[in-house]
Structure 1
Amino acid sequence: MSALPPLTWLQAFEAAARTLSFTAAGRELGVTQAAISQRIRLLEDRLGQKLFVRHPRSLALTPAGQAWLPSIHEGFARIGEGTREVFGSAPARSVTLRTTPVIQQNWLAPRLLAFHRAHPAIAVRLVSAIWTDEFGPEGADIEIRYGRGGWSGVEALSLGAEHLLPVCAPAVARALAAPADLAGVTLLHAAGFAVGWPSWLERAGVAGLESRSPALTCDNQVMTLALASLGGGVALAHRRLFEGRDDLVAPFDLAVPTDERFWLVRPTRGQRQEEASLLWSWLCREVDADPG
């Protein structure tokens, strides 16, 4: 074989082989379980052999995977040693923050920039997650999750009650005088939310109207809001995230409450570094000062 596989594939194999879990490997590397699975599949295709035996609820290394793993461990160890010899140890002052793309873009970005300007020596590593099982205290100092709360092993601070309302581009809004006008208009759905279009339409007195409208479904709200801003339809948005945008308008006043919300989260166990505590306190003050 003339060329080594990409480093990201090797990292995925090493993490998955060590944890025997694609999900745990994804958390460690800051990517989704699906991304780890894809990298392993591509690596196996490149090598021409299976590295894992995939059982319904578990994972095991094949003989080839077991034989190759020590070489991978040794390779990464030698890279680490060489890096430290030439460049010194990595800076200790770094914090990993994991959250959803929509909260990054609409709530976190200005606050994180202000923190960076006040504390430029602290390196913040921001990683994305969408689905509930992508979150967890492993590998992240702080998280902003979406859900009903009640997670074990974490300290959680609510960002406040949430309401969802329809939003769209101004040109689309001009044709929407009443909720019934949504018939035939593309409804943009974000999968995974407890409150969606059926709930809002029922509250608006036009239950079932979604069956008379085209639909586009995305796995994240960033995409539904992007499509809405381009005139591609009407999306449901969290009020706190919509209020910071100038490319969308709300054609109706009705906002439906939901018992799901965004939460600032950190593990309750383990030693907390000073830098992570500093960012946590900063974000907590931002939550307290947020009128939403």
Structure 2
Amino acid sequence: MRISPLPPLNSLVVFESAARHLSFTRAADELNVTQGAISRQIRHLEDYLGRKLFIRDKRSLSLTSTGMEYYDSIQQSLLLVAGATGNILQWQGDQQVTVVTTHAMASFWLLPRFNAFQELHPDIDVRILAVDSLKDIRHNEFDIALFFCHEAPADLTATPLFAENVFPVCSPGYLEKNPHIQHTEDMLKGTLLTLEVGEEWLSWQAWFRACNIEYKADAGPRMNINNYLLVIQSALNGQGLALGWENLVDDYLASGLLIKPVSTSVETTSQFLMLEPEQTARPKQGAEYFRKWLLSLI
């Protein structure tokens, strides 16, 4: 929907400065224009509004009641615009890097390793944006993105980081309560913690198919969850069996908080990719350092 009515936008900046200083001369100095230019912009704005904004006499300048009310609103609006602009410009420096990835990748893989990068490059500021889907990166400006996918979007440069092995995991307590789970097909009678996403995460149905086992949705109880962090948390709570992605759950396996109830594993055809916008200028130094650090982890 079109935003209307909008006054001449240049005139708003001039009006805010003149109203703040109550002086056309000081506004002209601040904006680096002539006093005549200030007068013309104010007159243009008043003509558009059909109201006087200033009371002019030979020795002073003051706001009309309309001018005072308008000034309060315009100044607040310009402050919001300036704040939003500043937030963007803050992350345009050579030593500032924006990384976009999923909540799961950020929580289970990137953040546990991030201290190593900070120790190597303490002068580089990294902003990590967690999103739910690869589609969401279109809404964010970024230097590097980390996603699991079969093919990268056509307008991004992709560098493979690693493929994935996917296998069942559960808590030791869950396996103790379900001693009948000894073979891969036995898991069909367990509580399968199912991730409800439509992208390239491997489903239980696809996983069993890769193991040449017929998947029957009604064979046992299911718990459907739309977030992988919650899937793993449910597994840690002893609520069922989850599909573990090797590079995401390796710390939990090493600590013994999660275990593999069976040894069966499926290697995915998709990979975790490092995605970068096509460069039109020299890459940021910070982004180059972050890129090299990621590749050193492979």
TM-score normalized with structure 2 length: 0.66
Distance 1:203 1:107, change over 3 A: same
Percent identity over paired residues: 22
Pairwise CA RMSD:
2.8
The aligned residue for residue 34 of structure 2 is: none
Return the letter of the residue paired with 1:250: K
In the alignment, the residues of structure 1 paired with residue 172 and residue 240 of structure 2 have an alpha-carbon distance, to the nearest angstrom, of 11
In the alignment, the residues of structure 2 paired with residue 250 and residue 196 of structure 1 have an alpha-carbon distance, to the nearest angstrom, of 17
Shift of 1:263: 0.7
Shift of 1:68: 7.6
1:153/1:269 contact within 8 Å kept: no
The aligned residue for residue 102 of structure 2 is: 100
Return the letter of the residue paired with 1:276: A
Return the letter of the residue paired with 2:294: L
Return the letter of the residue paired with 1:217: N
Match of 1:211 among 189, 214, 218: 218
The aligned residue for residue 226 of structure 1 is: 233
Shift of 1:204: 3.9
Shift of 1:248: 0.7
Return the letter of the residue paired with 2:244: A
In the alignment, the residues of structure 2 paired with residue 194 and residue 125 of structure 1 have an alpha-carbon distance, to the nearest angstrom, of 25
1:94/1:122 contact within 8 Å kept: yes
The aligned residue for residue 27 of structure 1 is: none
The aligned residue for residue 258 of structure 2 is: 248
Shift of 1:90: 4.6
Does 1:186 pair with 2:191?
yes
Distance 1:161 1:79, change over 3 A: closer
The aligned residue for residue 269 of structure 1 is: 279
Structure 1 regions of 5+ residues with no counterpart? 1-59, 288-292
| Alpha-carbon displacement from aligned partner over 1:85-144 (angstroms, at most 9, x marks no partner) | xxxx95833111111121112221233211112212211101101212112495111110
| Alpha-carbon displacement from aligned partner over 1:27-77 (angstroms, at most 9, x marks no partner) | xxxxxxxxxxxxxxxxxxxxxxxxxxxxxxxxx33xxx4348975752324
In the alignment, the residues of structure 2 paired with residue 236 and residue 187 of structure 1 have an alpha-carbon distance, to the nearest angstrom, of 9
SS state of the match for residue 151, structure 2?
coil
- Larger Cα Rg: Structure 1 or Structure 2? 2
SS state of the match for residue 279, structure 2?
coil
Does 1:142 pair with 2:147?
no
Shift of 1:210: 3.2
In the alignment, the residues of structure 1 paired with residue 184 and residue 109 of structure 2 have an alpha-carbon distance, to the nearest angstrom, of 28
Return the letter of the residue paired with 1:147: C
1:155/1:266 contact within 8 Å kept: yes
2:211/2:266 contact within 8 Å kept: no
1:173/1:250 contact within 8 Å kept: no
Match of 2:294 among 273, 283, 291: 283
SS state of the match for residue 232, structure 1?
coil
Does 1:66 pair with 2:17?
no
Shift of 1:186: 1.6
1:135/1:145 contact within 8 Å kept: no
2:193/2:240 contact within 8 Å kept: yes
Distance 1:155 1:73, change over 3 A: farther
Matches within 5 A, 1:57-206: 60-61=1-2, 65-67=3-5, 74-79=78-83, 90=90, 92=93, 93-136=95-138, 138-174=140-176, 175=179, 176-190=181-195, 191-192=197-198, 193=200, 195-206=202-213
Distance 1:205 1:270, change over 3 A: same
1:137/1:267 contact within 8 Å kept: no
Distance 1:181 1:121, change over 3 A: same
Distance 1:183 1:145, change over 3 A: closer
In the alignment, the residues of structure 2 paired with residue 137 and residue 283 of structure 1 have an alpha-carbon distance, to the nearest angstrom, of 24
Structure 2 regions of 5+ residues with no counterpart? 10-73
Distance 1:214 1:281, change over 3 A: same
Distance 1:156 1:209, change over 3 A: same
Return the letter of the residue paired with 2:242: A
